[in-house]
Amino acid sequence: MAERLVVVGGDAAGMSAASQARRHRAPDDLEIVAIERGGDTSYAACGIPYWVGGTVQDRDDLVARSPEEFRRDHDIDVRIRTEATELDVDARTVTIRDLTFGGEEQLSYDHLLLATGADPIRPPLPGIDAPGVFGVQTLDDGQELLDALADRDPKRAVVIGAGYIGLEMAEAMIQRGLSVDLVERFDQPMSTIDPDLGERIAEAMRGMGIELHLGVDVTAIETDDEGWVRSVHTSEGELTTDLVILGTGARPASELAVSAGVPTGARGGVVVDRRQQTPVDGVWAAGDCTQVFHRVTREPTAIALGTIANKQGRIAGTNLGGGYATFPGVLGTAVTKVCGLEISRTGLGEHEARQAGFEPICATVRSTTRAGYYPGARWATIKVIAERRTGRLLGAQIVSEEGGAKRIDVFAMALWCEVPVEELAYVDLSYAPPFSPVWDPVLIAARKAADAVREAGV
């Protein structure tokens, strides 16, 4: 008799795991049931701002593989519009509810994978759940926002939160022809970028026409006589608007695990070992709902990124399929493009390094991304964070007009391999005038950081 694997969550981690398990085990050996409360599987949530903004034209372009394809091509029983409501780890059952027709069912399992992702943070504000307040976590969220743009023809939008999603959605609204106010409780956009680079991001946003309200708290959302959002109240006054978009971050969606006694750790992420197995027998977890091992701090953390979720899903699926694989950890490498800027980071920022107990030495350089004489040369600002005593690379951040998004990967690889800045300064990178100066900005920044380390007495 075939064993049964139940996967809770049908996006990056869940379906990567299900597909990988299927590659290792045939349907007559392993039955796979995937539960997804939305209507789509394996979709690119990171592409939603570009779809809303009009860069991506069709919703289906964001779907890598549909439920029908999983059923037909991989013998995976995908059940959409279905929610897992209760987990009994002793009986090895999960209770599921059909969100379309109602009714509940208990599924027994031999193996269970939690891939419940992350829940958007909705501040407990008056009016936060009013019509006209939109999150952008799923394709259904994106469709609701597009429908409102088409039906109501709004002229003004308020975006709350200036992280990756907040910035991308602010730009999407500008591209749609709306005037945009962005409210952020920190003193800069993108608090994961150090303040000296964050100011460049703020300048670019203002240059695109986005009105920034930094260091400002939202206190309430007010609706009109029809119940639709009409204004946002802040610590600095009232902002009239036709819709509100939330970019306030996300946290691990681990409620199902917690209710069943599955241990959680950093920021509420489900605790897993290197093979993605939880301390509870038969229960595995992968993706945004889990905590992960940070290779620089050597401590657990929680980072919601599709790159991490896909890798963890593959690891979990290999092990569930009878193979052996381990997840080596993360650096927190991330990149986005907003308001004509490429913004990227890896490892630790200066403040994060201090919080982790390091004494950081920082170096910042501004260089061109091509030979200065070559047409189209643009600027890039690179900040390198190194450890004072050892010269160990701790992190890097790049804000550029072009050519920074993938240069961050050089720093990520150096971090992964624990290359000190002294050695990174002389890595044999490629050169041609259309692509970089003779001294690539990466090398210039690493060399300056190495000089700073030496001057500090190492």
Residue 207: give its domain's CATH number.
Answer: 3.50.50.60
Q: Which of 201, 225, 248 is the last residue of a domain?
A: 248
Long-range CB contacts for residues 68-75, cutoff 8 Å, separation at least 24: 70/15, 70/18, 70/19, 70/34, 70/41, 70/42, 74/18, 74/19, 74/22, 74/32, 75/22, 75/27, 75/32
pLDDT number for residue 79: 97
Q: Is there a catalytic annotation at residue 46?
A: yes
Residue 354 within any structural domain of the chain: yes
How much is the average pLDDT of 420-424?
Answer: 97
pLDDT number for residue 41: 94
CA distance 342 to 365: 16
Count the alpha carbons within 13 Å of 367 in the hemisphere toward its beta carbon: 25
Give the residue from 292, 363, 377, 299 showing the smallest Cα distance to 327: 292
Does pLDDT of 355 surpass 80? Answer: yes
What does each C-alpha distance from 92 to 54, 283, 285, 362 come to in angstroms?
45, 9, 15, 51
Cβ–Cβ under 8 Å, residues 294 and 284 = no
Residue 326 within any structural domain of the chain: no
CA distance 73 to 57: 27
pLDDT number for residue 402: 87
Share above pLDDT 70 across residues of the chain, in percent, rounded to a whole number:
100
Residue 331 within any structural domain of the chain: no
189 Cβ contact partners less than 8 Å away, ≥ 6 residues apart: 162, 166, 167, 182, 198, 201, 202, 205, 212, 214
Instruction: Give yes or no: residues 308 and 232 share one domain.
Output: no
115-124 pLDDT tens trace? 999 998 999 9
CA distance 260 to 273: 18
DSSP 315: H
DSSP 43: B
Backbone phi and psi for residue 152, each to the nearest 5 degrees, phi listed first:
-105, -10
CA distance 381 to 301: 28
Does pLDDT of 1 surpass 90? Answer: no
∠ CA 38-301-312, nearest 5°, is 50
Instruction: Give yes or no: residues 241 and 256 share one domain.
Output: no
| Alpha carbon 425 to its chain's center | 30
140-161 pLDDT tens trace? 999 999 999 999 999 999 999 9
DSSP 59: G
Instruction: Give yes or no: residues 205 and 224 share one domain.
Output: yes
Look over the chain and give the mean of its residue pLDDT values, rounded to a whole number: 95
How much is the average pLDDT of 343-348?
Answer: 97
Does pLDDT of 458 surpass 80? Answer: no
Residue 399 within any structural domain of the chain: yes
Q: Which of 46, 289, 339, 417 is catalytic?
A: 46
Instruction: Give yes or no: residues 169 and 182 share one domain.
Output: yes
176 Cβ contact partners less than 8 Å away, ≥ 6 residues apart: 52, 53, 54, 149
Does pLDDT of 126 surpass 70? Answer: yes
Residue 392: which domain range? 340-455
pLDDT number for residue 405: 87
Instruction: Give yes or no: residues 192 and 278 share one domain.
Output: no
Sort strands 179-184 and 211-214 into parallel, antiparallel or unpaired.
parallel
Does pLDDT of 351 surpass 60? Answer: yes
pLDDT number for residue 280: 98
Instruction: Give yes or no: residues 172 and 237 share one domain.
Output: yes
Residue 328 within any structural domain of the chain: no
Instruction: Give yes or no: residues 230 and 265 share one domain.
Output: no
Give the residue from 105, 75, 57, 89 showing the smallest Cα distance to 2: 75
282-336 pLDDT tens trace? 999 999 999 999 999 999 999 999 999 999 999 999 999 999 999 999 999 999 9
Instruction: Give yes or no: residues 173 and 231 share one domain.
Output: yes
The tokens describing 385, both together, are: 């964070």
Residue 212 within any structural domain of the chain: yes
Instruction: Give yes or no: residues 244 and 255 share one domain.
Output: no
pLDDT number for residue 108: 97
Instruction: Give yes or no: residues 150 and 77 share one domain.
Output: no
Which of the pair, 85 or 339, is modelled with greater confidence?
A: 85
pLDDT number for residue 391: 95
Give residue 342's pLDDT band: very low, low, confident or very high (50, 70, 90).
very high
How much is the average pLDDT of 62-77?
Answer: 95
As a whole number of angstroms, the longest Cα–Cα distance in the chain is 70
Does pLDDT of 452 surpass 70? Answer: yes
| Alpha carbon 132 to its chain's center | 24
- The domain total for the chain is 3
Q: Which of 286, 320, 354 is the last residue of a domain?
A: 320
Give residue 189's pLDDT band: very low, low, confident or very high (50, 70, 90).
very high
Does pLDDT of 261 surpass 90? Answer: yes
Instruction: Give yes or no: residues 95 and 17 share one domain.
Output: yes
pLDDT number for residue 15: 97
Does pLDDT of 33 surpass 60? Answer: yes
Residue 77 within any structural domain of the chain: yes
The tokens describing 118, both together, are: 């992350």
Task: Give the CA radius of gyration of the chain.
Answer: 23
Give residue 435's pLDDT band: very low, low, confident or very high (50, 70, 90).
very high
pLDDT number for residue 403: 87
Residue 329 within any structural domain of the chain: no
Q: What angle in degrees, to the nearest 10, is found between the helix axes of 12-24 and 306-320?
A: 30
CA distance 445 to 439: 10
pLDDT number for residue 283: 98
Instruction: Give yes or no: residues 289 and 268 share one domain.
Output: yes
